[in-house]
A = this chain, B = another copy of it.
Amino acid sequence: MSTTSHQTPAPLPLFRQIVDDLKSRIVSGDLSEHMPLPSERAIAELHAVSRMTARRALEAVEAEGLAYSKDRKGRFVSPKRLDYDVSSMSNFISGAAARGIDLQVEHLESRSLPAGRSIAEILAVPEGTALYENTRLFRREGHATFLETETVLADRCAGLLPKTPPHPESFLQKQRYSPLGHTADIVIRMRALAPEEAGLLGLMPYQSGIEQEQLVRDPSGTAFCFSRQIWRGEMAQFSARAIIKQAQSISGGRDPDGARGQATP
């Protein structure tokens, strides 16, 4: 019934049909984690569409996080999502290991630096205070997952961050993730990846990810560590247990504006 009597059937655009086909093949398990998706040219031929249309479909699947692309190598099925429980992050790394999650850390940079304006404000220390900064890339089963820049007060981990072979995991385990009941101010937002972040995470520019900021305080309430993570958005979800308070009680508390990195465009 090409000329149907009732409403227009509103046929799905070609590229959306292809998207749905690919999605169903992924969720059904026909295509499993890290398996290559058909190439743009293969899809174009299979579905009898132009390569640009095939490309649009593949980019949509990619934008959804169901697939990732390796430049000039192909597109592959994304691995499953990980749960990041921020309330028990005392031991995210070893905790992940205990759950059978294979998480590798690649150190990208370790350096000492004096506090600049914005980080001094965040940590509530004078400008110029000595800091250690570590940048790490986390991989899950070899797959880039998130990027972390951690800034700590130098006097809190003196000796734990030797300059020559940067091995701050000892600090991670001993100090930051001590069994004491720390608190953390957390901010989570979605934002576009900067080009160099996208490169490290194996994504195209202008894709979005999830940024998580944590301002960690010791039991006395003093902030001593600020970390900023940028995640591939499809790779995790963040869970927490919150104590819900009256709005007034919070706004009367310290640091009412957790939105430092206002993430203006």
Contacts and interface: CB of A to CB of B under 8 A. Distances in A.
A110 interface: no
Nearest to A195: B16
A183 interface: yes
A94 B247 CA distance: 9
B241 A186 contact: yes
A237 to B, nearest CB: 3
A98 B245 contact: no
Given A206-B19, A206-B64, A240 B242 contact: yes
Interface in A174-188: 179, 181-188
A58 to B, nearest CB: 11
Given A83-B258, A88-B251, A181-B243, A192 B63 contact: yes
A247 B239 CA distance: 13
A185 to B, nearest CB: 5
Question: How many monomers of this chain does the complex have?
Answer: 2
A242 B242 CA distance: 7
Contacts of A92: 247
Interface residues of A, number: 70
Nearest to A60: B206
A244 B189 contact: no
Contacts of A191: 64-65, 234
Given A60-B206, A189-B236, 17 more contacts: A63-B192, A65-B191, A65-B192, A81-B262, A90-B245, A95-B247, A179-B246, A183-B244, A184-B241, A185-B239, A186-B240, A187-B237, A188-B188, A189-B210, A216-B244, A240-B240, A243-B243
Interface of A: 16, 19, 23, 26-27, 60-61, 63-66, 78, 80-81, 83, 85-92, 94-95, 98, 179, 181-192, 205-210, 216, 233-234, 236-247, 249-251, 257-259, 262-265
